[in-house]
Chains A and B, each alone.
Chain A
């Protein structure tokens, strides 16, 4: 479905030091640095997959999305999506894809959202009955029935984002690129957006590629993640495997009476206050139930909380591991 091979892209970034003098100098000689936004990026994605594309800021995520959606031309490399190269056959390619850039708007600022929808319908030549069916489904699922008659400029960010996502699906694309779709949304909007994306992926078999900094998005949505850093693909794997990898450590949070000075091998006291301790358990040495047994034999436990690895831990672990 999507085949990306050895994609490279460089940008020129103009540099100048602050100050009037420097500004004057730069009138005559401009210094720039070449930034390698992407270096030999390769991966492939099957139809119906939902992939999280993650990496720190400036890693090249958005650049990859923009190349895959036909906006940017790469310097080198191949990208075949549905048998087409996006930047060579842009117009035919974009008929099959939907794109949401979380930081930009595709809706018309001054007109009601429904007008933007009908313009998009005309642009993609969506037949009337299919359009009506799609709009009905999208407005129900995203719960935007009440707001599509409002001009875009009067919508809140969360409302607008839901409309943006609906707008990108009016032409029933086979592939959906979401570039930080939950940026700046409140918890309820986030959950409804996630539910919706999941649903679309399941019902319509839409391939979804998602970039995000929100680890809960990944947890809720994706099975597979591709980690990119400094323009390279560092890791491409199943989220569950990664969780496994980073889950040798569990944390116990303990409220207790008594003295807890020493603990057995495999337990490390991370934090200790009066009657409360945070203990890390190395599960390769001692199991969680054994350590609870051990601790309850030492002190009188009032309350205990076991936390497992979250995707947050995985991502932080990965960033640390790859030093990005």
Chain B
């Protein structure tokens, strides 16, 4: 456990070093956040009754999404891992007395958390001073906020476990491009990265809500905004936990198979 923790630590410290990237990230996320909110505003103005998510809830959702981008976006992948698999440097990682799955998992969590911590506060603080309907609102209630915190942690685990599958499939395909595009686009859409899930048609959402994708950003953000009320939130969190466990087990199983047939590229 200590060794995974130090892996987390060194990566985390490493991640905090990139301040310029963080400032740039904050500015970019602001621009995107505004763009999204203004876009939705114009939709709302044309026909407010057609939309099943009120505008203040939507604004909070978008700001949360922009500030926690590093935690929940599946395209936030660790190039080092792809590199090590396709160049054969993974050989060194296999010479360590560590479980490769756990090591990569810890590393990924560290990168995500360090980036999110640098970025989330400026965005959230600034956004909460914006004018009404554009602003980032407080949590629906104190319980919602606590459940939100728990849900963020589990949601991040679901995202990382999903990304682990992308890394693992690279053992089979050498080039990761195809599998990455497919899996990242799928997740981005079904997790509510492009359009918040409540805005999708109901015949889709009733399935999506049960999928691991909804357990990524949808659950924590909507618990915060009150879109998922406290009494249902516990159920959603249990579902998140279920998907986290399933994805981790599946990942571990495939990785153990992949390692048996590993070929160290490049001699």
Contacts and interface: CB of A to CB of B under 8 A. Distances in A.
Interface string B6-27: 1100100010000000000000
A121 B95 CA distance: 14
Contacts of B139: none
Interface residues of B, number: 23
Interface string A64-77: 00100111110000
Given A71-B91, A101-B91, A104-B89, A91 B98 contact: yes
B14 A66 contact: no
B267 interface: yes
Interface stretch (A92-100, A155-163, A237-245, A266-274): A92-100
Nearest to A90: B94
Interface in B232-267: 260-264, 266-267
B99 interface: yes
A95 B10 CA distance: 21
Contact of A119 (B7, B97, B260, B262): B7
Contacts of B98: 91, 123
Contacts of A97: 95
Interface string B74-99: 00000000000000110110111111
B264 A72 contact: yes
A72 B91 CA distance: 9
Contact of A122 (B6, B91, B95, B266): B6
Contact of A123 (B3, B14, B267): B3
Contact of A125 (B3, B89, B95): B3
Given A62-B267, A71-B264, A122-B2, A104 B91 contact: yes
B10 to A, nearest CB: 5
Contacts of A106: 92, 95
A103 B265 CA distance: 12
Nearest to B84: A104
A11 B96 contact: no
Contacts of B92: 99, 101, 104-106
A97 B96 CA distance: 9
A66 B2 CA distance: 27
Contacts of A92: 97
A245 to B, nearest CB: 31
Contact of A69 (B7, B95, B262, B267): B95
Given A71-B262, A73-B260, A111-B10, A94 B91 contact: no
Given A104-B89, A110-B14, A70 B7 contact: no
Interface in B56-113: 88-89, 91-92, 94-99
Nearest to B92: A106
A90 B95 CA distance: 8
Contacts of A91: 97-99
A97 B267 CA distance: 20
A115 interface: yes
Contacts of B260: 73
Interface in A100-134: 101, 103-106, 108, 110-111, 115, 119, 122-125
A94 B6 contact: no
Contacts of B261: 73
Contacts of B14: 110-111
Given A73-B260, A122-B6, A125-B3, A103 B97 contact: no
Contacts of A73: 260-262
A115 B266 CA distance: 27
Given A70-B94, A101-B91, A115 B264 contact: no
A110 B11 CA distance: 11
Contacts of A94: 94-97
A101 B264 CA distance: 12
A201 to B, nearest CB: 20
A168 to B, nearest CB: 9
29 contacts: A62-B267, A66-B91, A66-B264, A69-B94, A71-B262, A72-B263, A73-B260, A73-B262, A90-B94, A91-B97, A91-B98, A91-B99, A94-B95, A97-B95, A99-B95, A101-B92, A103-B266, A104-B88, A104-B89, A104-B91, A104-B92, A106-B95, A111-B10, A111-B14, A115-B10, A119-B7, A122-B7, A123-B96, A123-B98
Given A69-B95, A125-B2, 4 more contacts: A11-B263, A73-B261, A106-B92, A124-B3
